[in-house]
Chains A and B, each alone.
Chain A
């Protein structure tokens, strides 16, 4: 006799659409990382497949991490939230201590052998878990006390990340905070006030000399793309040339001159979308947006279907994280948002971001498949 089938068994409710769209984006990322690094590597007499192989390893690790995040019941994860939060703060502290490594002006990495680990990427997820846990603990509308608790949860890691400095990640934190507060039931006037404070803070940071010159240049380059004397404008200009030169059908995989001849700096990391734009064209770009759209729709749907407030807020946090990063990253390559060092999820080369994004999707799968039990 076979055991009766359990209709609430989590594996039966696995969101295959979300899983496939995520893997699809990651596969496209793998290809574009290869395209944007192979000729530069070959020119330097190095292995053209170096970055491809590394990214493939990150992808595998990410898939495993996603599986783990999906399998452990998210309600148990909630119990560990304080420990996770404490651990995240500790690593953020350590990374700005002499143990951390500085690269391109930010003290944001641990160097482990030939690999770098970026704790702020993982801190994003811990923040989503912690914030969801705190907000879910208040019933009904979020009163002033709950709001302050949420803000407190956000403030400490954001301050530590600001010290690195990594403004981009702080912006992701802010976006996640706002989205979770919105869905958690914050009063409209609270949200309005917070938005106002956020805007004031941005203006203050840019205008009051709290940034290094290069940081301000990067943030404001998109406002005046003609001023090509600055390095940041050069970046932006080359980036737009690459995307626009792709046209409708693109110049063909491995055929882009901007891509092959290294005209776009940081192309395999933050500017990976320029390789898609140039070589795969409008059709490729729309396909990528489509994959991302399906992914976000499924995460949003998981939020709608979630059986409890914690799960719902988890999903909302992941939606906010992903959509903000996608919009900011793709927008900056096309010149409509400031240049910040935010990777494009599942596309940009880099292990920490890739693994963190997979864990985020893993948590959503977790919430989704346990919505009945």
Chain B
């Protein structure tokens, strides 16, 4: 080892104790079995998040969060700023891809029952991250202030307004008034670049720390398995996936750059076929299909309550699935998860294949 390298290590080691991290990384193992493919999705989500952070910070250089300038600034980024089209397209496309991978990550962890003790908190923080990223998507969608996002936000916040007792107050809080306006744009910007990142970093920190300290969960009934080193073997495999995804995102952005769309006109009538972002469409179509009244309760209220209860069920599934906690198979929970997945896929597909269904 050269003397200057020794000097640097001599300076860093007492201050940061890097050797502890190095030793931890050296010792850390990842189980290898026929389901270990699903382990990669967490890392992919992290990579996509980092991509969002980098492109988001770059977009902040030119984006202006006001009704008069938001759309114009996005237009400017797309047409005038060097590589602005790429940065914005990567940001918009990755946002959607990230939400897709988050769903895959969540459902794979659900079906592998990775929420079993002692990983309850890993699951709960993961679920909270999914909610946070949905909020990221919802708030970010409005920021270009274009026609589609404006009316989709109106539709989306109408869903929130249906929640019993707190719905109206919640809707007013989200919108900063009774309607989607300049106040909503400022509020969504505040959420998107300050509040949500702070919470996301905090929860993600806990989530990753737990994954690192508790290690990867093995599916029920998997006995002793082969193991690979986290560093470098697992990291290398994960990074291979990152590279392939990066290449795919690049190609998508070049051939299908994310459009700025026409500027929102609050006085225009709602365009036909308006719908929220794809990851909210299963709720949107449910609300369209639900009957006006079910047992004298408003159908919409019941549906929204159903989603909230479904969310709570998913969040607290580690506490409910007692069989899995005892390392026993729990087919009931697998069936419930499967039903939820099929429902989401079916409703999302219906939104696009039968747009005129329901009301």
Q: Are A and B associated in one complex?
A: no
